[in-house]
Amino acid sequence: MKMKKYIVVGLLMMSFIITPVFVSAQTPQSDQIATLIRLLQSLVQLLQQQLLTLRMQNPVAQTLSPQQRADILRNLSNITVLSPNGGEEWARGANLPIRWNMPGNSRVDVMLKFQSCGNDDPCSPTQGETVARNVSGGSYNWIVGNVLPGGTEWDSNTVAMTGNYKIQICLTGTQTCDFSDFLFRIVMPATDVIYPLPTQDITVLSPNGGETFKIGNQIGLAYDIRNIPSVDTLSIQLKKMSGSSSTQIIADTPSNSFRETYWWTIPAAFPIGNDYKITIYAKDSTGKIVAQDSSDASFTIGH
């Protein structure tokens, strides 16, 4: 704002100087021109002095080079993992803080990276599983071994096995990341308590009883599956509970082919009735049913 003020004042001074010269005579005399040049030179020197003074008072206002701007941006987004940073042995199930350092209070994503080799081997950590998303404050209290559901490396289980790991912390939405410098270990607790894997479960959400659908309609068969490995087979069956008790397999596919909702169009020649239920079940590689659920009550298919 100060610099703009000086420029405006300078322009006003120039207008007051130049206007009388050209009003007094259509063709300025040589002495008038010489006087005008001296005044303009003095004005330019005054403005240069004011600009230098402002720069000395406020060095940040000086123009930054591209390298300086890049260094500032890099420093603002720099992340350093503090712990676990290598050599620790953390018992699975313990409540311990993952800590990091970065300027400001930006949000980060925390990943757990399994590494089968040692510190001196050339292998890289795996893709890993997510511990937490969009957190801030430089610390996250972690129940050691817990990861968010929906991962791919451990068949959707949400408890890490014992072994060598690194923590990776990334600025949310970017590739700006840092790893633990060395490996740390997740170990069993000293009491040798074995934590069971989460229960495999399926819950039918819709149709769950009382609904009415028409021939030709597309309906969403909604469900919730938990801790079902992707190698298992997930099947949806539609069954008429009375009469011939006919059963139709709507879908029979690996469990990761569809999740939460499967869309099905009722065929034109489909038998009508008010006693239909759906059953969803999962089978492991040996054909054993590991989880299943059915509609709580019957629903109707009609014209």
* Cβ atoms 183, 81 nearer than 8 A: no
pLDDT value, residue 184: 93
* Cβ atoms 144, 94 nearer than 8 A: yes
Under the banding of pLDDT at 50, 70 and 90, the label for residue 244 is: low
Could you tell me the sign of the dihedral formed by the alpha carbons of 223, 229, 231, 232, in that order? Answer: negative
Under the banding of pLDDT at 50, 70 and 90, the label for residue 195 is: low
pLDDT value, residue 122: 45
pLDDT value, residue 78: 80
- In whole angstroms, what is the distance from residue 165 CA to residue 179 CA? 10
pLDDT over 50 at 247, yes or no: yes
State both tokens at 92.
Answer: 């699975």
For the entire predicted model, the pTM comes to 0.39
| Radius of gyration in angstroms for the set of CA atoms belonging to the chain, rounded to a whole number | 36
* Cβ atoms 34, 45 nearer than 8 A: no
Q: What is the mean pLDDT of residues 232-253?
A: 79
Kindly report which listed range (211-225, 239-253, 289-303) carries the lowest average pLDDT score. Answer: 239-253
- The chain-wide mean pLDDT, for the chain, equals 76
Q: Measure Cα distances from 77 to 166, 179, 207, 278, 292 in Å.
A: 21, 15, 49, 52, 48
- In whole angstroms, what is the distance from residue 252 CA to residue 255 CA? 9
pLDDT over 70 at 34, yes or no: no
* Cβ atoms 107, 134 nearer than 8 A: yes
What's the pLDDT tens digit per position in 148-194? 876 655 544 567 888 889 999 998 888 889 999 999 999 988 765 55
